[in-house]
Structure 1
């Protein structure tokens, strides 16, 4: 979902960090999907993972979540996931340039 990404979200973001590094597939996906079941308005999930989770992107888009992936200096990835503001148009997930 291509949605506006506001790091501050007017100071209202409640972020949960989920570190799934070192886990063998499919455990990271299972844990992320479970965490998304508990994600509410003005909340986002920050997933720390050892590899870029390409299969997750399609699942997120299909279920109406926006996301942004950042490669970190320690060779891990941060995937921030949130529900976009209603009324945005479907499209590719927002990714850094």
Structure 2
């Protein structure tokens, strides 16, 4: 079963969004993914995600400017859920 965790960092000041997402992603269980709501694209986050074994998909948000979906690179169930939600 997949599960979506939502983290709204759109009103936080730098570097707090980065700190919050880095604290949240290690807690993801199998089938879970994180949807980070942000006011801008978190370019500094992407190399960290790659280094730590996460994948992501970024798109224009519905209620905020940017949505970033993050999941463990090895979690095909979470990846499939993200792709289904974002198509």
**TM-score, normalised via structure 2 length:** 0.79
Larger radius of gyration: 1
Unaligned runs of 5+ in 2: 76-87
Separation in 1, partners of 2:8, 2:34: 10
The SS at the match of 1:37 is: helix
**TM-score, normalised via structure 1 length:** 0.71
Q: Greater helix share, 1 or 2?
A: 2
Paired positions, count = 76
2:2 paired with 1:13: yes
RMSD: 1.8
The SS at the match of 1:32 is: helix
Moved over 3 A (4+): none
Matched residue, 1:76 = 65
Of the three residues 52, 62, 78, the one matched with 1:63 is 52
